[in-house]
Amino acid sequence: MKKQGIRGLSRYWKLQLLGWGSASLYWAFKGFTGEGFLWSLAICFFITDMVCYIGITHIYRTIARRAGWTLLAPQQLVWRLVPAAVIMGIAFMIVTVAKIYLLKYWLVADFRPPFRDFAAATGEVTFIAGIRLMSIWLLAWHMYHYAQREIRMATEKSRLELITSQMQLQQLAGQLQPHFLFNSLNLVKSMVRDQPEQARRAVDLLASLLRSGLYEKNTDLVPLAAELEIVEDYLELQQLRWGDVLQAATQIAPEAEAVPVPRWGVQTLVENAVKHGIMRQQHGGKISIDAACREGYLHVTVSNTGTWQPSANTGIGLRNLRERLALYYHGDADLVIEMAEINVCATIKIPMHANL
């Protein structure tokens, strides 16, 4: 069994050590290149710099977090940062002047000026340097928290939009399933008395559809081949009723069979073609289903003999399908219905490598 390792430092402490450590090393380098450099004094300066300045900034961090300043808008925060920078600059000046004087008094033999004179000579410059350093620290710390808050809010907003989209998709899918089921049951009902054999076969097909489709409620996208199985069962149901009046043909490219498509999407187009196309023709007609992959998109076309009236193609099925395509593919999919000679063609265009 592996032993649990020591928990690493947080990002805050790593940045504190890195930032003030770099500043202290820079000051040590400036002293090294000057006159009267002492290693003992440089080491003591480095240690006290780290302890004192991290202490000052950490005290501010504690107060700011308890007061909720990290949640304030920039306009509200600026009126707190200005006095905070001044106060921290004064603290920096007092600590810096005191520690420099005490360490030099302790380690440098000929350093014996009165503290008042030393403070008067170095206080103003140290205060200005403290204001500058503390302002940089304050801006960096609050900008980091502001950026983290914006990222968190954007993430939460995206998550909320995703949940909303999923709820909309589930609602849309729930509308299609009973819509298709009721139509199929009405079809079986119409055949029970006069066509009992066909009715029994229709019940078998409907049971197969229930097993393969309606029970799999958690699957919003299915391979095109699985969607076509539902379509084939539906067309057989319709052919049991209408006989040779309804003809069907499919031409599916092999590479298209595995491409995910919205469940009940092609079925909706086929059902629409039967109801608003073939059944309105005196001698029936033919439905063709073609699928191919071109230029990174899957094109699925359902065509039927008949005429197209746009106002007649605004029912629940097509409205539902358009909304689902918009939600799934973020506007990158399309549904186009148009006339092509004597046929009505409905084409779904779906990106093959969509970021769903």
Residues 6+ apart with CB under 8 A from 225: 252, 257, 258
Closest to 214 (Cα-Cα) out of 191, 185, 235? 185
Closest to 90 (Cα-Cα) out of 114, 119, 68? 119
79-121, pLDDT tens digit by residue? 899 999 999 999 999 999 999 999 988 988 888 899 999 999 9
Q: Please tell me the predicted confidence (pLDDT) of residue 163.
A: 55
Describe the strand order of the beta sheet including 246-252 as a list of residue ranges: 246-252, 285-294, 297-305, 343-351, 334-340
- Cα angle 61, 62, 67 (rounded to 5 degrees) comes to 95
Q: Is residue 313 helix, strand or coil?
A: coil
Distance CA 350, CA 259 (A): 9
Residues 6+ apart with CB under 8 A from 242: 278, 279, 284
Q: Please tell me the predicted confidence (pLDDT) of residue 179.
A: 60
Tokens describing residue 136 = 């940089």
HEC profile for 145-183? Answer: HHHHHHHHHHHHHHHHHHHHHHHHHHHHHHHHHHHHHHH
Q: What is the mean pLDDT of the chain?
A: 82
Q: Please tell me the predicted confidence (pLDDT) of residue 310.
A: 65
Distance CA 261, CA 271 (A): 17
Measure the N-to-C terminal CA separation of the chain; round to a whole number of Å: 41
Q: Please tell me the predicted confidence (pLDDT) of residue 2.
A: 44
195-225, pLDDT tens digit by residue? 778 778 888 877 776 666 555 555 678 899 9
Q: Taking a C-beta distance cutoff of 8 angstroms, is the pair 312, 272 a contact? A: no
Q: Please tell me the predicted confidence (pLDDT) of residue 160.
A: 55
3-37, pLDDT tens digit by residue? 444 457 788 898 899 989 898 888 888 877 777 77
Q: Please tell me the predicted confidence (pLDDT) of residue 3.
A: 44
Greater confidence (164 vs 333) lies with: 333
Phi, psi of 261 (to 5 degrees): -135, 155
Question: Count of CB atoms within 10 A of residue 264's CB?
Answer: 27
Tokens describing residue 14 = 């790593």
List, in sequence order, every residue forming a beta bridge with 305; answer none if it has no partner. Answer: 343
226-273, pLDDT tens digit by residue? 889 888 888 887 787 777 788 889 999 999 999 999 888 898 899 888
Distance CA 250, CA 174 (A): 28
Q: Taking a C-beta distance cutoff of 8 angstroms, is the pair 259, 225 a contact? A: no
Question: Residue 140: is its pLDDT beyond 80?
Answer: yes
Mean pLDDT of 126-134: 93
In order of 12, 32, 97, 134, 298, the CA distances from 25 in angstroms are 20, 10, 18, 18, 62
Phi, psi of 301 (to 5 degrees): -115, 125
Distance CA 182, CA 293 (A): 34
Helix%, strand%, coil% for the chain, nearest 5: 70, 15, 20
Greater confidence (31 vs 141) lies with: 141
Question: Count of CB atoms within 10 A of residue 43's CB?
Answer: 11
283: exposed, middle or buried (Cβ count in 10 Å: 0-12, 13-18, 19+): exposed
Question: Residue 156: is its pLDDT beyond 90?
Answer: no
Report strand pairing: 246-252 vs 285-294.
parallel
Q: Which domains does the chain show, CATH number per domain?
A: 11-157 (no CATH), 193-351 (3.30.565.10)
